Amino acid sequence: MNPDKMNKKEIDKNSNETMSESEKVPSFKNSLFKSDLVNRNFPRSAEGCDIQIKTPADLAPYIDHTLLKPDATEAQIRKLCEEAIQYGFCSVCVNPVRVEYCAKKLMGTGIKVCAVIGFPLGATDSKTKAYETQDVIKNGASEIDMVINIGALKDRDLKTLEEDLRAVLRACRSTTTTKAIIETCLLTDEEKVIASQLVKKVGYDFVKTSTGFSTAGATAHDVALIRRTVGPKMGIKAAGGIRTFEDALLMIKTGATRLGCSASVKIVSV
């Protein structure tokens, strides 16, 4: 079977065949993952280590400290980097034009630079996204958060959606951490499952919920749904609307292994 011609049912079938019983995606005829997942712990990685959060500061290594506003100044970006160093955040997440500056500021600190690609609409063509990816990596980004072709998903044009994902992946280095933003607030639950399965199939490291620039951000329901879809080993980044320690902890408890936050300092300083 040509993967480019696989429909939704075939993706579901193939995905379930490669999963254990505990990882299989339930039928949409059944109720979807309500309170049973809110208190469930999920492994943070293939090593199977649980995320243990005892204090707000314990969240810092899981946070991408984020500033994506179009009017962000150099002074604000400098402060973002300084805060990332001070609090030990995983990365700073910035627009491509700020990547080189951040890479220089963070050199030798262990703090990563994450760049957004095709942001925030995902509506640029695949060649443009691939070029943008190559450019930010050249300028010092070690992680990329790309926005998928949401229109192609809505059209059920999975061939175009998959090629868009693969074009960006081909532009990455083997060491680049890759995240695909599916913009959950614009999708039905069925579409969230289809997108998450395809992101996993193509070989990305993370499914990311949201840009934070659309109608809503991450929800516990969506994180739990994605976790049930991709299984216990794949990364999930929850982003958008995470403003308090309680918000962040709920995302971790429902399956997130990375958080995209602009209120990072407030979250870890409670």
Residue of 208, 222, 247, 253 marked catalytic: 208
Residue of 129, 200, 237, 253 marked catalytic: 237
Respond yes or no: is residue 4 known to be catalytic.
Answer: no
pLDDT > 50? residue 27: no
Of 96, 192, 95, give the one whose Cα is nearest residue 135: 96
pLDDT one-digit tens code per residue, 172-206? 999 999 999 999 999 999 999 999 999 999 999 99
pLDDT for the residue numbered 51 = 75
pLDDT one-digit tens code per residue, 221-256? 999 999 999 999 999 999 999 999 999 999 999 999
Largest separation between any pair of C-alpha atoms in the chain: 53
> What's the CA gap between 261 and 64, in Å, rounded?
6
Respond yes or no: is residue 64 known to be catalytic.
Answer: no
At residue 46 the predicted structure's pLDDT band, cuts being 50, 70 and 90, is: very low
> What's the CA gap between 88 and 140, in Å, rounded?
19
> What's the CA gap between 156 and 198, in Å, rounded?
12
pLDDT one-digit tens code per residue, 80-112? 999 999 999 999 999 999 999 999 999 999 999
pLDDT > 50? residue 40: no
> What's the CA gap between 65 and 264, in Å, rounded?
6
Residue of 12, 145, 222, 247 marked catalytic: 145
CATH 3.40.50.720 fits 59-268, yes or no: no
> What's the CA gap between 74 and 263, in Å, rounded?
18
Respond yes or no: is residue 208 known to be catalytic.
Answer: yes
pLDDT for the residue numbered 21 = 36
